[in-house]
Amino acid sequence: MRTYSPHFYLAFFLLLNIFNFIDRNLLIAFAPQIKSDFNLTNVEWGLLTGVYFLFFYSVFGIFMGVLGDKFNRMKIAAAGVFLWSLMTALTGVAKSFAHLIIARALIGVGESALTPNSISMLSDVYNQNKRGTASAIYYLGIPLGVGLAMLIAAYFGPMFGWRAVFISLGIIGVGLAIITYFLTEPIRGQLDNPSQSNEKAMSIREIISLTKSTLYNSKSLTLIIIGSIFLHIPLGAGNFEVLWAVNERGFTSSEYNSLFGIFFIIGGSIGAVMGGVLSDKLSYLFKGGVMSFLTISYLLLIPLTISYRFVDPNTFIFYFTLFFISLNVTFFYGPVFGSVQALTPVKVRSTMVAIFILGVNIVGMGVGSFFTGFLVDFVFNNSSAPYTFSLITVGATGIIAIICFYIAGFSYSKDSELAKKN
């Protein structure tokens, strides 16, 4: 059986994750055009970019995670890449709002296969003290993918139209799916408990039972998932970012896509790497380990992220705070995903990551996206800046996340030792 270096797996999964987030965020990058072409309300836009995508993405993520803990994770990931790429291409030929909903839902099904299985496979090729960094590099897919989606919309949208862009990227993704299918899966659990790699595979019932008992017995894991849910509510509100900039800050769609794309690639990449590397290197300095590190970091970032919504876009402060907005979005991925892996037994890591994704997407981003649209249309609709007030209101939920991370630190060490015994 041919094997690859850990860095090859990481680089390839990063590439897939970049395409994952390009395809996911193209719709948001083309928000003014698509919202206008289909005559959508803000609530409909929130449902399309949030609930209709995230429900299928999150629910099927559990199914993909369980399958990944029982069958070949690489083949499952390949099938997911093929499906979401095909549906991205079909989005480009959508003729109605219903067509958009169907394509968006099936993109969610396809994308649900990637992260649970990729993160699980990365834990098989990187030791525990390097998983925060590996997870952070994998999640460079967010700033690079989102940023490239914005830049693609800014530069190729005016030249070819949004439909041609969707079709082209979908075709490229199908090619990547074929390559993925023929790659070798790493040996499961080889760096945690090598003897387990020769054990008989668990049944689906056993996988579900061990997952449930892990959640029940690990207070810190449960708090990390709850905290991450509240941290994702403001991220769901980000589906209205371009609409906010165009309607209330005087940007054109292409101007803001270009600006945000560049800043998000730079700031988001720095945030993802910095969060993973610093959590691996500095967590031992704090009694609560990685969770205390994350708590302190977000207390420092909050004032900068709030001020971004109010400062004049013609000032240096606007660009300064935009950089930290970009950094803030990705900073937690390395520490959080590294922690979820450390707190979860080897045998159910794909399933646990899928449960994490279910919570942060349906309850987190889904609520954030829908609630922002609701606030814009029905609560702040008569105010001078409905998008600004809605985004600030939804963003305040991130405070609850900080509290959860802080409390999780008290039992983190004990719970991580418990996970190693299962």
Phi, psi (5° rounding) for residue 252? -85, 165
pLDDT of residue 194: 52
Q: Look up residue 266 and give its two tokens.
A: 């730079």
Q: Taking Cα atoms as reference points, which of 106, 134, 138, 124 lies closest to residue 16?
A: 138
Backbone angles phi, psi at 301, to 5 degrees: -85, -25
The confidence score (pLDDT) of residue 201 equals 63
What are 385-393's contacts with CB under 8 Å, separation 24+? 385/248, 387/240, 387/243, 387/244, 387/247, 387/248, 388/244, 388/248, 388/309, 388/310, 390/237, 390/240, 391/234, 391/237, 391/240, 391/244, 391/309, 392/306, 392/309
Q: Are 407 and 290 in contact (CB under 8 A)?
A: no
**Domains of the chain and CATH, by start:** 6-188+203-420 (1.20.1250.20)
Q: Which residues of 293-307 are buried (b: 16+ CB within 10 A; e: fewer)?
A: bbbbbbeebeebbee
Alpha helices in 71-161 (DSSP H): 73-91, 97-111, 114-122, 131-138, 141-155, 157-160
Q: What is the mean pLDDT of each run of 10 residues along the chain (422 residues)?
A: 79 94 89 88 85 84 81 92 95 91 92 88 80 78 88 90 94 95 83 54 80 90 93 87 89 88 90 80 74 84 82 90 86 83 83 83 84 91 91 89 91 84 70
Token pair for residue 11? 């680089």
Question: Contact at 8 Å (CB) between 18 and 141?
Answer: yes
Q: What is the pTM of this model?
A: 0.75
Sign of the four-CA dihedral 31, 36, 42, 46: negative
Residue 47: per-residue pLDDT: 85
Q: What is the pLDDT of residue 199?
A: 55
CA distance 368 to 50: 8
* pLDDT, tens only, 1-44: 566 788 899 999 999 999 999 998 898 889 888 988 898 888 88
CA atoms within 13 A on the CB side of 387: 17
Indicate the SS3 state at residue 161: coil
